[in-house]
Each structure stands twice: as C-alpha cells, then as structure tokens.
Amino acid sequence: MSRIAGQLSFIFASALFVGALVATAQAKDKVKVGFIGPLTGGVSANGLGGRNSSDLAVKLRNADAKAKYEYELVVLDDECKPNVAVQVATKMAADKEIVAAATHYCSATAIATVDVYHKFGFPIIVWGAVLPDITYRAKYAEVHRVNGTMINQNDANAELISKIGFKNVAVIHDTTDYGKGHNEYFSKAFAKLGGKIVGTFGVTADQQDFTAELTQIKALNPEVIYFGGLTPIGVRIRSQMDKLGIKAVFDGTSGIVSDAFIQGLGPLAEGSFAFREGAPTEKLPGGKFFMENYAAQKYDNPPEAYGAFSFAAMDLILDSIEKVGPDRKKVIEELANVKERDSIVGKVTFDDHGQNTVAVITKYVVQDGKFVEWDDSEYATGKRKLPGQK
C-alpha cells in the first residue's frame, strides 16, 4: 500500500470511528409525551403559558446528555370546552406512542376527561385545574394533580375577607363545575366564620350582559362581590359594576390570576382580590431557575400564573419515564410513589388519590397594575383603603 493510500485509509477509518461515536450519541430512543390546555379562546393566555412551560421542561431534558431518551412534545387544544376536551383527550390517550401528559387548566375540561384517561390507562398530571372532584370523585390511578384545590383557595379567601372585617357578600359564579364548586366551598367557609351570603347568582360561561344580576346585587348592598369564574367573565362583571356605580370589593378566584385580567380592566382592576396555589413564581424554590430559562427561550407569551406548575408536572413525567422506561403502567406505578419529591414549585407528595398534599395558597390584591401579595401591599398596611373598608 502506498503512503498516500495508507493515509487515506487511516482518514477513512477515523471518519468511520467518529461517525460511529456521533451515531451512538444520537441513537436515543424517541419518546412522545403530551400537553393539553386552552390554546384558543378567552383563557388562551394561560394555556399558551402552560404549553411553553411544558415545552421548556422537554427542551431542558433533551439538552441533558444524561437523559436516556429523546422526547417529543405533542400539543392539543381543549379550548376550555368539555366536549372538545373529551375529543382531544381521547385522541391523545388512544395514541399508544404517547406515554403520559400534562393536562388542563380549566376545571370543566379536567373533570370531563378523567374517565377517558382511566379507560385508556393513560397517566396524566393536571397542571392548573382546581376542582377537588378531579382527583377525589373517583380513585383513578392514572390521574394526578401537582397544584392544590379550590378548597384550599376558598378557606384562605374566606379567612382574609373576615379578618378585614367584611360580613356581607354577594356571590356570582359561572354555572360550570368550576364556578359551582367555588360557590360551594367559599360559601361554606365564609359561613363558618360568621359571614353572610346576601345573594347567589349563577351566570353562563358566555354571558355578556350582567345588568339584571348586578342591579339586584346593588339593592342588597354587599361589601364584597365574590366571583367564581374565569378571566373573560370577570372582566365583564367588574366593568359593569363600575357602570352601575357598585362600590363593593371584587373578590376573585385563581381563575382571574392572569395578565389578561389587568389588561382587560386597566385601572378598574385596582383593589381586586385573587387567590392561587403556590407561592408567586419568583418566590418558588425553583422560580429563578424557571424564569431565567423561560426567558432564554424567548417565547411569545409569559408563563402566566400556572406555568411553573405545568413545568413541574412535565418534569415529574420525564423523571418517571427516565426511571422506569416509556411504559404507561410502570409510569402510573412510579407516580403513585411520589413522596416529598423536589420540584420547582416545592415538595410534591401525591396522596392515594393522586392529589399533591402540599398546598400553599397565596393571597393577591391588584395594586398599581400588578397582582401583589396581600401581605406586601399598601392595602394590608392600611396606607390604601378597599371600597367599603373602614
């Protein structure tokens, strides 16, 4: 063999060796995981933030050289509509290539789909919906939730309202399972503390005009109007309160903790209450890590209030697959054993119904165009007064 031929042979062999190393490094099995949330409609800001947050968890895992698998995220839109949610949940659960999913911001969609996930043996972790029945109505091994429930929210809500000194509250709630659940748990909690519900009004999720309900409420002269529903209706009700000259405090649930609420109302959002599971994102154990990595991806939408929970849900799913493999039954078994597991939202422990038992509730009030923690606000210190506050 000539010297040149020998060199070419060596170069060719070296290229094959390097190519083999690259091929080995890239030869990870591909595994599909899913995300479902409202990507269109009135609460799409929350769904898009949730989607991006699950996407971030997948991207960070794929960038980890130690990961056993390469993950692909399959995203479907439930539009915050139960009938649509059942369709997309069935589509996802029926796809055997998708191992598990982070699902649902809206309680109405989450509760509508639990039977589907159980039927297909498809493990999911709810990342935002708060209706207790999602985890507690049936004992489905496939269903888990990383955030707390509306029971925790409403206990904290009633306690704060009572502590401030408000005694008379009118309730407006949407007639979905979400709104009816909030009405039930708030009313019970407030009554236990000696408060009085002066009137309760159910409204439809797509209702535009609340003049009739608000006119009756104005005559009842409540100190607070409690609202159990989502941002789009909340914006309309608060706007129409102003037009009718109603000066009561607007007291919302986690369903209004969104930039869209403040953007939709402008100065009228000032002094509104809201309550949400977990600490503010920047104060979460992994909040700084999450926000820095989220910003680095340059997503078109912010993570919104439940983005960190979506990330935590997907991260738990990926951890489980890494440990037991891309097998639905094994992932379900692994999730059942989650106890005191570290996540960016804090410790996660699933009880025998798949519910995270570590429930921290943050109390918010809108101050100067932002959701501010109540204890850090000028309303809490007395520097500013809420409507009707002595």
Give the pLDDT confidence score for residue 8 in this predicted structure.
39
3-class DSSP state of 270: coil
Q: Are 335 and 354 in contact (CB under 8 A)?
A: yes
Of residues 115 and 9, which shows the higher confidence score? 115
Q: How confident is the model at residue 312 (pLDDT cuts 50, 70, 90)?
A: very high
pLDDT exceeds 90 at position 105: yes
pTM of the entire structure? 0.85
pLDDT exceeds 90 at position 250: yes
Residue 254 CA: distances (Å) to CA of 16, 17, 62, 71: 57, 56, 32, 31
Q: How confident is the model at residue 108 (pLDDT cuts 50, 70, 90)?
A: very high
pLDDT exceeds 80 at position 215: yes
Give the pLDDT confidence score for residue 15 in this predicted structure.
45
Give the pLDDT confidence score for residue 135 in this predicted structure.
97
The mean per-residue pLDDT over the stretch 133-158 comes to: 95
Tell me the pLDDT of the chain averaged across its residues: 92
The mean per-residue pLDDT over the stretch 83-107 comes to: 98
Give the pLDDT confidence score for residue 389 in this predicted structure.
78
3-class DSSP state of 101: strand
196-203 sheet: strands from edge to edge: 196-203, 168-174, 224-228, 249-251, 273-277, 361-367, 370-373
Give the pLDDT confidence score for residue 307 in this predicted structure.
97
Q: How confident is the model at residue 277 (pLDDT cuts 50, 70, 90)?
A: confident
Q: How confident is the model at residue 382 (pLDDT cuts 50, 70, 90)?
A: very high
Facing residues of 225 across strands? 170, 250
**C-alpha–C-alpha distance, residues 174 and 172, integer Å:** 7
pLDDT exceeds 80 at position 2: no
Instruction: Count Cβ atoms below 10 Å from residue 215 Cβ, excluding itself.
Output: 12
Q: Are 261 and 278 in contact (CB under 8 A)?
A: no
pLDDT digits (tens, 9 = 90+) for 217-236: 999 999 999 999 999 999 99
The mean per-residue pLDDT over the stretch 242-266 comes to: 95
Give the pLDDT confidence score for residue 358 in this predicted structure.
66
3-class DSSP state of 166: coil
**C-alpha–C-alpha distance, residues 60 and 45, integer Å:** 23
Give the pLDDT confidence score for residue 1 in this predicted structure.
46
3-class DSSP state of 357: coil
How many angstroms separate the most distant Cα atoms in the chain? 103
Give the pLDDT confidence score for residue 111 in this predicted structure.
97
Q: Are 284 and 345 in contact (CB under 8 A)?
A: yes
**C-alpha–C-alpha distance, residues 218 and 254, integer Å:** 25
pLDDT exceeds 80 at position 7: no
What is the DSSP secondary-structure string of 172-207?
EEESSHHHHHHHHHHHHHHHHTT-EEEEEEEE-TT-
Residues 6+ apart with CB under 8 A from 243: none
The mean per-residue pLDDT over the stretch 95-102 comes to: 98
**C-alpha–C-alpha distance, residues 126 and 135, integer Å:** 9
Q: How confident is the model at residue 279 (pLDDT cuts 50, 70, 90)?
A: confident
The mean per-residue pLDDT over the stretch 303-324 comes to: 97
Give the pLDDT confidence score for residue 359 in this predicted structure.
66
Give the pLDDT confidence score for residue 17 in this predicted structure.
43
**C-alpha–C-alpha distance, residues 140 and 131, integer Å:** 15
